[in-house]
């Protein structure tokens, strides 16, 4: 049998070799917000923009993830943290290259601008990947009048609102949650369903329609700027915390960036531009939303100040929790049970395989839909809990337990909390969650998160990994021993649905026998899984 470390490395190798290009997010377009909250004037785009309608488009045309999967430590392992050599911008966005179809956005000092992007399930299906931060992570937008085609993310993340941070060449424009409180992918999960009903995105002239609602980050153009160019860097920080995901017990960085230039013009010129029809080329991108989120002038973030953990010369630089050996041991003990009995998702996670198209809207419709969903979820959860209980009883291992976390429908944020079982042979030691680092919510009827675990028998090759896959992780690197350990979530909150081995006891039910099979997996838009089939 392979050691746990070998199993984790094997998992990593297979995950990073998968085609994961379409799972993550970047800025699709920029648009000025008028005083009444509606979008106005022609759209603007990032440098080197490639439309989804372009025959050359693929998931890597616009996506830029850091650290890249090509980044390696000296031992050949994938580097899990950024370092001082990582370039901030996508290769096609390192210079100011624009076309007539996809031009720069024209703005004036004092304007508000919406940077629009797809949530891709990071908001509406947050349980698909564990250990992620509240609000689906933080978007930082930085500005500079001194752009460099070799801009480093480590330099930019030191910039502050005063323009005095780091190398002093730029400034922080805003920090906002990735989840804007309105955006949603169309899927059968409760978060999406509630947002489709309460904050719908209608096709013009079709008041009963509902289509995907894009997210946005809203920025105010500084009033002291003069005519010229403002270069902006949209940086999504979406790390995995340590001791939360059995596949990456040391945690890891994930950053996604978009680099764009705005042309600064005076108000009179921009007003003339705004009165002309918006270019039609963007219509194929499919976003009929015409107004910004209601709080576009006052957006905030749970993490308002950029902070980074670096990995220089194979050493961690910065504060990060050490790997919790009890967490790793629990992963090792519980994974075989989950795999053998095909337990699938943690019982509280329920997404129907099919659902009705939303065509009625408002609070009353949302309440009625929630009642129907809750009834179906209760039935599914009851059967799923029975399967879990029977499997762990047969294995003579105490059933893993934890306190559920709430899913506030208007924020998409959540904080897992652990409930250790002292009878477990390898118990999880927990500490109180830091209330200053995450929002606190009362318990609601919404869906809860999952953690994935896996056991593998061999190590596949990672040689086919694409050049810029959106998922990056590594085996557990040494972390700062002086850093306090966070509250680890039990590792068995969920797993994929595996095929039970031929020797599995037939009397133990599996999730597939419960009925109403869970659709979390296939309805997520080609999202990178935290697990693979053994």
What contacts 24+ positions apart, CB below 8 Å, involve 281-284? 281/51, 281/101, 281/102, 282/29, 282/43, 284/51, 284/52, 284/53
- Pairing mode of beta strands 255-264, 105-107: parallel
pLDDT given at position 287: 80
Q: Rounded mean pLDDT of 405-412?
A: 35
- In the chain, pLDDT over 90 holds for what percent of residues? 44
The DSSP secondary structure of 247-308, one letter per residue, reads T-TT-B--EEEEEEEEEE--HHHHHHHHTSPPPGGGGGG-----B--TTTTS---SS-S---
- Pairing mode of beta strands 112-117, 27-33: antiparallel
- From residue 444, how far is each of 133, 404, 405, 441, 447 by CA, in Å? 19, 10, 9, 8, 9
* Per-residue confidence band for 402, with pLDDT thresholds at 50, 70 and 90: low
Integer Cα distance of 455 and 3 in angstroms: 10
The reported pTM is 0.73
pLDDT digits (tens, 9 = 90+) for 162-173: 999 999 999 999
pLDDT given at position 201: 92
Q: Which residue has the higher pLDDT, 410 or 147?
A: 147
Integer Cα distance of 379 and 385 in angstroms: 10
Joined tokens for residue 131: 């250990």
Joined tokens for residue 345: 């998702």
pLDDT digits (tens, 9 = 90+) for 160-207: 999 999 999 999 999 999 999 999 999 999 999 999 999 999 988 899
Q: What Rg value do the Cα atoms of the chain yield, rounded?
A: 23
* Structural domain boundaries in the chain: 27-317
pLDDT given at position 286: 64
* Per-residue confidence band for 231, with pLDDT thresholds at 50, 70 and 90: very high
Q: Which of 5-9, 124-128, 275-279, 529-533 has the lowest mean pLDDT?
A: 529-533
- From residue 461, how far is each of 9, 506, 515 by CA, in Å? 11, 34, 36
pLDDT digits (tens, 9 = 90+) for 35-87: 999 999 999 999 999 988 888 888 788 889 999 988 998 888 889 999 999 99
Q: Rounded mean pLDDT of 412-418?
A: 29
pLDDT digits (tens, 9 = 90+) for 425-454: 222 222 333 333 333 322 222 222 222 222
pLDDT digits (tens, 9 = 90+) for 459-484: 222 222 223 322 232 223 223 222 22
pLDDT given at position 340: 86
Joined tokens for residue 398: 């105490």
Integer Cα distance of 454 and 147 in angstroms: 44
pLDDT digits (tens, 9 = 90+) for 309-323: 999 888 888 888 899
Q: Please name the helix (run of DSSP H) or strand (run of DSSP E) that holds residue 235, with its range, or none.
A: strand 228-237
* Residue 16 reports pLDDT greater than 50: no
pLDDT given at position 328: 87
């Amino acid at each position: 049998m392979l050691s746990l470390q070998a199993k984790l490395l094997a998992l990593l190798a297979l995950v990073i070799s998968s085609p994961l290009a379409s799972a993550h997010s970047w800025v699709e377009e920029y648009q000025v917000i008028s005083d009444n909250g509606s979008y106005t004037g022609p759209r603007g785009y990032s440098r080197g923009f490639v439309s989804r309608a372009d025959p050359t488009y693929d998931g890597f045309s616009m996506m830029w993830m850091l650290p890249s999967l090509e980044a390696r430590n000296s031992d050949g392992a994938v580097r899990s943290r950024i370092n001082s050599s990582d370039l901030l911008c996508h290769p096609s966005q390192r210079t100011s290259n624009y076309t007539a179809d996809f031009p720069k956005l024209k703005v004036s000092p004092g304007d508000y601008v919406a940077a629009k992007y797809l949530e891709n399930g990071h908001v509406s299906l947050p349980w698909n990947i564990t250990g992620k931060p509240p609000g689906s992570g933080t978007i930082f937008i930085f500005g500079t009048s001194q752009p460099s085609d070799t801009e480093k993310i480590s330099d930019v993340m030191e910039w502050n609102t005063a323009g005095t941070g780091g190398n002093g060449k730029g400034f922080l424009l805003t920090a906002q949650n990735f989840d804007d409180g309105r955006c949603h992918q169309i899927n059968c999960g409760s978060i999406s369903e509630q947002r489709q009903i309460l904050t719908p995105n209608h096709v013009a002239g079709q008041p009963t329609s509902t289509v995907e609602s894009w997210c946005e980050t809203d920025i105010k153009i500084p009033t002291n700027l003069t005519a010229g160019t403002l270069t902006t860097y949209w940086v999504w920080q979406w790390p995995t915390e340590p001791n939360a995901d059995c596949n990456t017990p040391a945690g890891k960085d994930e950053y996604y960036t978009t680099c764009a230039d705005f042309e600064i013009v005076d108000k009179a010129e921009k007003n003339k531009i705004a009165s002309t029809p918006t270019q039609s080329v963007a219509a194929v991108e499919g976003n009929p939303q015409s107004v910004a989120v209601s709080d576009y002038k006052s957006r905030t973030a749970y993490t308002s100040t950029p902070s980074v953990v670096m990995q220089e010369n194979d050493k961690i630089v910065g504060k990060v929790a050490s790997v919790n050996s009890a967490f790793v041991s629990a992963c090792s003990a519980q994974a075989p049970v989950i795999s053998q009995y095909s337990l699938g998702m943690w019982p509280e996670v329920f997404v129907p395989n099919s659902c009705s198209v939303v065509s009625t809207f408002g609070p009353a419709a949302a309440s009625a839909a929630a009642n129907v969903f809750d009834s179906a979820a209760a039935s599914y959860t009851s059967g799923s809990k029975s399967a879990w209980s029977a499997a762990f009883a047969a294995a003579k291992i105490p059933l893993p337990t934890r306190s559920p976390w709430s899913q506030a429908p208007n924020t998409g944020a959540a904080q897992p909390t652990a409930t250790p079982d002292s009878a477990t042979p390898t118990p999880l030691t927990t500490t109180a969650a830091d209330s200053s680092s995450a929002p606190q919510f009362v318990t609601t009827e919404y869906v809860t998160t999952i953690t994935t675990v896996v056991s593998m028998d061999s190590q596949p090759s990672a040689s086919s990994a694409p050049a810029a896959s959106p998922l990056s992780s590594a085996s557990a690197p040494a972390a700062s021993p002086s850093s306090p350990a966070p509250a680890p979530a039990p590792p068995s909150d969920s797993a994929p649905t595996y095929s039970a081995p031929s020797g599995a006891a037939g009397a133990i039910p599996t999730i597939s026998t419960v009925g109403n099979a869970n659709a979390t997996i296939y309805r997520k838009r080609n999202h990178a899984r935290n697990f693979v089939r053994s």
